[in-house]
Amino acid sequence: DIVMTQSHKFMSTSVGDRVSITCKASQDVSTAVAWYQQKPGQSPKLLIYWASTRHTGVPDRFTGSGSGTDYTLTISSVQAEDLALYYCQQHYSTPYTFGGGTKLEIK
Amino acid sequence: QVQLQQSGAELVKPGASVKLSCKASGYTFTSYYMYWVKQRPGQGLEWIGEINPSNGGTNFNEKFKSKATLTVDKSSSTAYMQLSSLTSEDSAVYYCTRSDGEGLDYWGQGTTLTVSS
């Protein structure tokens, strides 16, 4: 199975800051990476797929990038409502594994 | 609008089985694979498996092959997941979610399963 590693379990940031959340795959996944946002008590929501394509309705402050084994989700100007858990997932080969999640905390 | 409506919370005894449902609406049911994902309290997300509603073909995470059975009823646009031989390790929130190969774009609200005597 492909292991997706999000090395930061927590990240603390301030409103208006730029923040980058990273994800590393155990092998090349050819940009087949999606990012999800999960707020407390809610289902996950798709933000980005194919590493850099924004899902319908996602604000343009969310940007995905990366290739090979290394991927990044960047929020250009964090808003208070961005307080959430963020997960990466590879959709390259089954089982479609997820990273362990990064909790974004707003100072 | 696309909606995935999941069945309500379940409390079941160890050793029993349970069947969870996910009713799809707002799109052509057979055009998207349906996936099931497990989330234990305070834990991350685990992919259980997928089903192709057009032909019933399935693909599982090896870890769940003997635990989960996936089926669909095309007439009611409903996907089902049966979990067998339940233990406390199966207590979790289970989500159905759909995909056309480009991420999991819509999710159900989740079904909380509690396994307890």
Residue pair B4/B22 in contact (Cβ under 8 Å)? The answer is yes
Determine how β-strand A70-75 pairs with β-strand A62-67.
Answer: antiparallel
Chain A positions touching B101 (Cβ under 8 A) are 91
Q: How far does A23 lie from chain B, in Å, by closest CA?
A: 14
What pLDDT score was predicted for residue B102?
84
pLDDT tens for A55-94 read 999 999 999 999 999 999 999 999 999 999 999 999 999 8
**What is the pLDDT confidence band of residue A107, given thresholds at 50, 70 and 90?**
confident
A100 lies within 8 A of chain B by CB:
yes
pLDDT tens for B24-39 read 999 999 999 999 999 9
A14 lies within 8 A of chain B by CB:
no
Among partner residues A49, A95, A100, which is closest to B103 by beta-carbon distance?
A49
What pLDDT score was predicted for residue A24?
98
Q: How far does B15 lie from chain A, in Å, by closest CA?
A: 26
φ/ψ of B60, rounded to 5, equals -120, 150
What pLDDT score was predicted for residue A38?
97
φ/ψ of B57, rounded to 5, equals -65, 140
d(CA B80, CA B76): 11
CA of A100: how far to CAs of A21, B7, B31, B32, B52, in Å? 12, 27, 30, 26, 27
In DSSP terms, A19 is beta-bridged to: A75
d(CA A49, CA A57): 13
Going by C-beta distance under 8 Å and a sequence separation of 6 or more, which residues neighbour residue A8? A21, A22, A102
What pLDDT score was predicted for residue B82?
98
Confidence check: pLDDT of A13 > 90: yes
- The type of residue at B26 is G
A2 lies within 8 A of chain B by CB:
no
CA of A82: how far to CAs of A64, A102, B59, B107, in Å? 15, 12, 34, 19
Confidence check: pLDDT of B69 > 90: yes
Which of B59, B49, B55, B44 is closest to B20 using CA atoms? B49
What pLDDT score was predicted for residue A49?
97
Give residue B82's Cα distance to chain centre: 8
φ/ψ of B35, rounded to 5, equals -115, 155
B104–A98 CB contact, under 8 Å: no
Read off the pLDDT of each residue in B86-103 and give the average, rounded to a whole number: 94
Q: How far does B6 lie from chain A, in Å, by closest CA?
A: 12
Q: Is the peptide bond before A95 cis (omega within 30 degrees of 0)?
A: yes
**What is the pLDDT confidence band of residue B100, given thresholds at 50, 70 and 90?**
confident
What pLDDT score was predicted for residue B42?
82
Dig out the tokens for A62 from the structure. Answer: 């969310």
What pLDDT score was predicted for residue B41?
84
pLDDT tens for B57-67 read 999 999 999 99
B47–A97 CB contact, under 8 Å: yes
d(CA B39, CA B58): 21
